[in-house]
Structure 1
Amino acid sequence: MLDHVIIRKTLRVPRSEAPAGDGAAVARQLDAVLAGVGFTATRELLDHVSGLEPGAAMDLAVRAIGAVRGLVGDHVEHNAYFLDFPNGVPDTVEFWVSCLRELVGRPVDVLPGVVNLLDLPTYGRYRHTFAELLAAHDELVASAEDRVTVLHLGDTLAEETSALYLRLAGSPTPLGEGDLDLLAELARTCLDGAQPKAVPVRENRAVVNAARMAGGREPVAVDTVTDVLRLACRLSGGDVSLATPTRFRSFRRRERRVLLGALDRVVDGGEAKLGDVARHAGPWKRLGEGLHPHEYPRFPHAAEVFAVARGERTARSLAGRAEEAFYAGDVGRAAEILAVAPGMLLRSLDRLLRRSTEPSEVDSVLAAVESVIGSVSGRVLCSVREHLANRTTPDLARVFATRGRRAWVADDNRDPLPPEVVARAAALIDGELTTRLPTYAHLVVDPAMLDVALPLSGKASEDGFAVLPRGSRSRIDPEAGEVLRFFTYWRETARRTDFDLSALLLDEDFGYVGHVAWTNLAHDGAVHSGDITESADGATEFIDIPLSTIDAHCLVPQVNVYSGEGFDDVAESTFGWMTRGPAQAGAPFDPRTVRARSTLRGPGRVALPIAFTRDPDGSWSATWLHLHLPGDPAFNQVEGNHLNTTLLAKAILARRYLTTTHLLDLLRAKGVPTTTWTPTLHLDVPVTYLGLHPPDDLPEGSTTLTPDQLIPD
């Protein structure tokens, strides 16, 4: 339901238009239940519920509670294999021996000298109910440092739906898979409502145009042949990023006419547009077989696209012409050619500067950049600015991540760029960003945003609660509790599936210290909750880490697919972390202590969601990774991939990311007054608040920005 989605995405409860009445009792119940899951309602929201007819008030409360419980993972039961976890976890070998002792008189697959643990009748399956687990644990002792997230009253469902649609469609960055599907649903719902002034990201644009075509509307802002290819892929249920092949469906005559007409108009605007066809010749040839361009002689330019794809006509691409200049050693000419496509020029800036052996060549390249920089998207400018910040010295390793977050590592064999050249290029970009950044009357900044990496792509993150982009750092408040608890939950779709939660422990030089996993249930005070090997009704595994005593500098949790369905195939798959004090007790899972919870989706068989590092002052910070390793088809274990995991973590943690602090510094240089938000800050006039979740007491008329909205167009 859209209202659930809106609450989860915005923490705003759509205003009910039901009749007035006395819903005060429901409001009190709502307030109490929300407190039990780590949320609190604003006074405005409680007043709204109080003024509704009781039945309508209860409907609204149930929707709000269901949405926030699902957001933090409280919509399912989180049982633990060992009833008393984190106490009473046995030694690993002793536990396995006890399972073997229970074999007497029971059939099991036993080979000479080999026992399959998964066949042991008491291994890997819950031996108690969730109710019995709760009965074995005392209630959680509430702490003032437990998480409290504010839930706000929104506008009507129609208004909130429209606002979310406009925000996603107008996003300056590509959306993740989940948000792309949500955008498609919202575009269909809002077809007759307000439309975005622009959809800057072409993948997002294809999704919006597919919804428009399904509703009988014409596509908009189609200005390259690849836009048409993306649109055809989306209409066929395929990948708009073009990273994976799409099997095109049979198009209706109207759809063929619209697609061919769009192609014809693009190519009629300039034959140079045909230069992009060869990059995707295969998909174009398959698409031509379904569009039947020969049946539409009124679109002659569209037919040229398929002639190029089949090799019947040659169309030189911009990249090909630039490569000829590179091959001839004419860097200035290469920059001049690429300047026709400003985004491509900026993306090629590192290579151009590396090939510039004379000061005059550097001058030519930077002059070309300066002449077109005003036409480059803000996201590309920020991406290149981040890239330059890491180019004066060789990287420890080059980390490559696909759109599906699958990662691999290579040596950095590039020559570093001279610091003075980097400084000149960075100054050009910073100057353009400063010009584009809006002027705010008063900007109030949540300090938790300062180390958030700018979300330059939704593909570098996951859906969830308090999830930040790859490279973002969050300080773990030492007052929140000295026990860090990871958890993973999964539920299989059709066949028995075994995920395994593990934690790799590394020293200051990223050397191996130890690990905690199903094969090693305890290490230096860290404790595993026990191995669950099937998940028809859902399964959860936990790991407790005592931060104050653990002999490690870096903790890298990982989730391994040991057997069965992968992350993209299971019905549900999530990772999260909690903090609590040892005296708080409570069941292994309590929503009030959940600090973040992320979905796990991707093509790999090993997930690396986050890493935790010890800061110089002894406190700890979390850095989001959002990476997947390919792994093996089955039997993945932390022992088998710790070298790759270590190298990835080391490279990610050493990289300098472009954070919101950089844009805030540019705003301050521009004269924008900024204030750091604290719970005691008193504000009398409306402000612009930069943060993931606004506080309860912002003055009326205030607006909220999230880091993605800070990126200039």
Structure 2
Amino acid sequence: MAHDLASLVIRHTHRIPFPQGSAGEGAAAARQFDAALASVGFKLSAELLQQLSGLSEDAVVRTAERTLGTVSEMAGDHVRHNAYFIDFPANVPDTEEFWMRCVAKALGDDTSRENVLTQLARGALNLLSLPAYGRYQHTYEEMLAAQDELIASAGDRVTVLHLGRDLDDEVTDLYLALAGSTTPLGEDHLGDLKTLAGRCALGPQPESIPVRENRAVVNEARLAVGADLLLDTVVDVLRLACALSGGDVTLQEPTRFRAFPRPVRRALLAGLDAVVAANPTKLTDVHAYRERFKRLGERLHPHEYPRWPHAADVFAVARGERDARSIDSRLEKLLDESDVLGAVRLLTSAPGKLFRALDHLLRVAADQAERDAVVAAAVQVAPEVSGRVVLSVREHLQNRERESGKPRVFVNRRGRGWVAPDVRPPIPAADRDRLVAALDADMRRRLPAPARLLLDPDVLDVAIPLSGRATAAGLGVLPRGSISAVDGEQLRFFVYWKETERRTDYDLSALLLRSDYSTDSWLSYTSLTAVGGEHSGDVTEAPDGASEFINLSLDRVRSPVVVPQVNIYAGEGFEEVAESFFGFMLRDGEQRGRPFEPRTVRMKSELRGVGRVALPVVFRREGDGRWGAKWLHLYLRGVSSANRVEENRISVSKAVRAVVEREYLTVRYLIDLMSDRATAVELWDGERVPDEPVMYIGLERPEGLPPDSTVITLDNLRDVIPR
């Protein structure tokens, strides 16, 4: 258990919990540990190396064994990455030449000759029937022997691991950070919170848990140890019941409730009763989830517990036996009557709902007086709205400056994306500008006012993580809409998957687009080579895991937009396979090396979304010739089988264009607001260490920051978002 918790801390914080062990002469072992880390793109900080050097050799080895396994998995090096073509990217054949080679081998094989001849006579050939197609023709060891050794480069990724506190302190801090997050967590982080909550339920707790899904996970752990539940709505109880049933606490997917033991039933009913007794208007929340409350009532048997009559009222509302008009129904009636001023008065008591309805209210207002009332109400209640919602509306408003008809991207909580034209009439510019100014002023007031602000320039174009679901678990992954520079001569994508039960075929492809997003060409199993690029070959099954690669020489690629994608051709979905992830590497032209080299990995992202086509990121060449990446984290529906880049290029192009042309709020926006009150704002040059505490914001924590400095990196960037 301690090993798992330490690994969890390393993944989230890039800190190794304070190493335990007797004093000794561990310097040699510590240097060997550091060298082993370098092979996967990590290194020990000077402070951590010094601490390890003072321990016994056995203590260093124990720490190294635990850490190396964790960081190898972070970089994707915990599995074997073979390539179909043994010396990829060299000597990749022309597609048709390769297919004919497979046919010739099949005709020379007594077991396959007759079948192939029959197919050829009919005028169609199934490539999967060819023994040499889609299955590795060499071992992993043979592939390694055929590859030149990687030449070290100053541009290789180096991720520093820092010295942490005791494991208990690190676990508690991480629990408080995740539980108290102001933004929803991604699925993987929500799972990590569940692990941490099971250990920390009786310890220190965050001041508040604003995200309801987080509260459900924490309540599940608190119920298990007999602690008081954290409930203030009836939906909190519904989410807890979903958590106890192993279901979806976000309530996006239906949950089949389990038969709860009597103590759990009593706890849930007592919680419902207390919430409604304290505020009967909470019954109005039942309407949004009526059917689920009905099903829950069938499991809780509230009639057996007359001492909790208010809990019974919840299920009476769900069954329609008791009236409890919701704000949503009252709002709908007012809007049907074109009573905008009445709607504004109603929503002033529900600030979050008012903010979510702003666009609609401004569009249906009859005249300037009604629009003035909408804006005035929004300015009045803004301080009561969560920072995440304020920032979401602010981002929405800056994108309403565009002309109607432009593509608009929609993404649900599970990453499924779709595109539709924006047919809404525009918001009057003066009203939009007044709202933007008011929201900026509110954010400026809420953000911290650091004395000294130290910035890594590379973080400025990172999108503010308004939801953990706008990104994915992994290494070097940025939120959707973020932009990062691509510095290197060779760009190489990779995908790895391992099937669970049935044959599964994932196809790594790259769509090469012109500046107007029309198709130029593509790289896939049907097009193994293109201008500036090579595909590693099609692998069509993965009982022991399989990898595919695409290599691009950026100075030779003629298309200004490159969209890597993972298509499910057959078999299990991204959430069904035992494991699947995507990433990319950057190399200098002469580095050579294996198809997969962990220290050249710039990003490794888990593939865990709903859809049959994954779009993790898009690469664009700017006007100055430099390449950059914009992060997508999208999953398109696709078709049930045989998804191919040729067939989905139009839908992919539309989705990519919608995200690329959308303006996301970035860290630069927050820095501009904080800079007004900061004593000094400096850019980190990677060398000069400040001599007094600072607030540092960057992609990675630098070494040598003064004690008491506040450090914001990708791992805790959500902490910048005000409550």
Matching of residue 355 in structure 1 with residue 364 in structure 2 = yes
Q: What residue is the counterpart of 1:266 in the other structure?
A: 275
Distance 2:680 2:243 in 1: 44
**Alignment match of 1:342 (pick from 335, 351, 360):** 351
1:127 aligns with 2:137: yes
Q: 2:436 aligns with which of 402, 423, 426?
A: 426
> Shift of the alpha carbon at 1:39?
1.4
Instruction: Tell me the secondary structure at the aligned position of residue 204 of structure 1.
Output: helix
- Distance apart, 1:395 and its partner CA: 5.8
Q: Distance in 2 between matches of 1:542 and 1:672?
A: 48
Contact 2:201 2:218 in 1 (8 A): no
CA distance in 2 between counterparts of 1:260 and 1:424 reads: 47
Counterpart AA for 1:687: V
1:445 aligns with 2:448: no
Q: Counterpart in 1 of 2:613?
A: 606
Query: Aligned partners of 1:285, 1:537: CA distance in 2, in Å?
Result: 45
Matched residue, 2:568:
561
- Alpha-carbon displacement from aligned partner over 1:668-697 (angstroms, at most 9, x marks no partner): 123453211111333111212112320122
Range with bigger deviation, 93-102 or 63-72: 63-72
Q: Deviations over 1:357-392 (max 9, x none)?
A: 311111111121122211110000110100000012
Task: Answer yes or no: is the 8 Å Cα contact 1:218–1:258 preserved in 2.
Answer: no
Listed as ranges, the matches of 1:175-324 within 5 Å are 175-220=185-230, 222-324=231-333
Residue 710 of structure 1 and its aligned partner are, at CA, apart by: 1.0
Report SS of the residue matched to 1:390.
helix
Please, what is the CA RMSD of the aligned residues? Answer: 1.2
Q: 2:405 and 2:604 mapped to 1: Cα distance?
A: 30
Aligned mates of 2:707, 2:237 — CA distance in 1: 44
* Distance in 1 between residues matched to 2:70 and 2:698, nearest whole Å: 21
2:75 paired residue number: 72
Matched ranges for 1:543-692 at <5 A: 543-692=550-699
Q: Deviations over 1:279-338 (max 9, x none)?
A: 111100000001111111111111111111111122111011111111111111111111
Q: Which residue, out of 40, 45, 57, partners 1:42?
A: 45
Contact 2:453 2:678 in 1 (8 A): no
Give me the whole-angstrom Cα distance separating, in 2, the residues matched to 1:676 and 1:709: 21
The runs of 5 or more residues in structure 1 that have no matched partner are none
Helix, strand or coil at the partner of 1:501: strand
| Higher mean displacement: 703-712 or 106-115 | 106-115
Query: Is 1:466 aligned to residue 497 of structure 2?
Result: no
- Alpha-carbon separation, structure 1, partners of 2:374 and 2:631: 35
Tell me how far apart the structure 2 counterparts of residues 671 and 327 of structure 1 sit (CA, whole Å): 48
Q: Is 1:15–2:18 an aligned residue pair?
A: yes
8 Å CA contact 1:577–1:596 kept in 2: the answer is yes
Name the structure 1 match of 2:105: 102
Judge conservation of contact 1:498–1:532 (CA < 8 Å) in 2: yes
**CA deviation vs aligned residue, 1:451-488 (integer Å, no higher than 9, x gap):** 111101111111000101111110112xxx21111000
- Residue 325 of structure 1 is matched in structure 2 by 334
Give ranges in structure 2 of 5+ residues lacking alignment. none
Letter in 2 for 1:277: V
Cα distance, 1:136 vs structure 2: 1.1
| Inter-partner Cα distance in structure 2 for 1:396 and 1:131 | 51
Q: Is residue 518–residue 528 contact of structure 1 (8 Å, CA) maintained in 2?
A: yes
SS of structure 2 residue aligned to 1:115:
coil
CA contact (8 A) 2:475 2:604 kept: yes
- Please name the residue that 1:504 is paired with: 511
Which of 370, 376, 389 lines up with 2:385 in the alignment?
376
Provide the C-alpha distance between the structure 1 equivalents of 2:46 and 2:134, rounded to a whole number of angstroms: 47
Tell me which residue corresponds to 1:82.
85
Contact 1:26 1:61 in 2 (8 A): no
Superposed displacement of residue 701, structure 1: 3.0
Q: Percent identity?
A: 53
Q: Is the 8 A contact 1:395 1:651 kept in 2?
A: no
User: How much does 1:241 deviate?
Assistant: 0.9
1:4 aligns with 2:3: no
Aligned match of 2:58: 55
The count of corresponding residues between Structure 1 and Structure 2 is 709
Measured in 2, the distance between the counterparts of 1:46 and 1:681 equals 21
**Contact residue 450 and residue 678 of structure 2 kept, 8 A:** no
Question: Which deviates more from structure 2 when the two are superposed, residues 32-41 or residues 176-185?
Answer: 32-41
Q: Is the contact made by 2:493 and 2:583 (CA closer than 8 Å) also made in structure 1? A: yes
State the Cα distance separating 1:584 from its structure 2 match: 0.9
Q: Give the Cα separation in 2 of the matches to 1:367 and 1:91.
A: 65
Of the structure 1 ranges 683-692 and 228-237, higher mean CA displacement relative to structure 2 is found in 683-692
One-letter identity of the residue aligned with 1:235: L
The amino acid across from 1:156 in the alignment is: D
The 1:254–1:542 alpha-carbon spacing in structure 2 relative to 1, beyond 3 Å, is: same
- Which residue of the other structure, out of 527, 539, 544, is the alignment partner of 1:537? 544
What SS does the corresponding residue of 1:510 show, helix, strand or coil?
A: coil
Question: 1-side partners of 2:190 and 2:319: how far apart?
Answer: 32
Whether the 8 Å contact between 1:230 and 1:240 is mirrored in structure 2 is yes
Match of 1:160 in 2: 170
Give the drift of 1:653: 0.2
CA distance in 1, matches of 2:700, 2:11: 12
Whether contact under 8 Å (2:202, 2:227) holds in the other structure is no
Counterpart in 2 of 1:386? Answer: 395
Give the SS at the match of 2:431: helix
Match of 1:30 in 2: 33
Please state how far the C-alpha of 1:601 moved relative to its aligned partner.
0.3
Shift of 1:267: 1.5
Question: Which has the larger displacement, 89-98 or 191-200?
Answer: 191-200
Looking at structure 1, the residues matched to 677 and 619 of structure 2 have their Cα atoms a distance apart, in angstroms, of 35
Deviation per CA, 1:49-101, whole angstroms, max 9, x where unpaired? 11112111100011111111111111111111101111100000010011011
1:628-650 C-alpha deviation (Å, 9 max, x unpaired): 01111111111111110000000
Distance in 2, matches of 1:245 and 1:330, equals 35
Contact 1:319–1:338 (CA under 8 A) maintained in structure 2? no
Residue 706 of structure 2: which of 699, 702, 708 is its match?
A: 699
Q: For residues 421 and 299 of structure 2, what CA distance do their matches in structure 1 show?
A: 44
The answer to whether structure 1 residue 397 and structure 2 residue 407 are counterparts is: yes
Q: Residue 137 of structure 1 aligns with which residue?
A: 147
1:412 aligns with 2:415: no
Matching residue's letter, 1:315? A
Measured after TM superposition, the shift of residue 27 of structure 1 is 0.4
TM-score (norm 1): 0.98
Structure 2 letter corresponding to 1:257: R
SS at match of 1:312: coil
Give the Cα–Cα distance (whole angstroms) in 2 for the partners of residues 488 and 593 of structure 1. Answer: 15
In terms of mean alpha carbon deviation, does 545-554 or 103-112 score higher?
103-112
* CA distance in structure 2 between the aligned counterparts of 1:371 and 1:266, rounded to whole angstroms: 28
Partner Cα distance (1:429, 1:698) in 2: 33
SS where residue 626 of structure 1 aligns? strand
Asked whether the 8 Å contact 1:392–1:418 carries over to 2, the reply is no
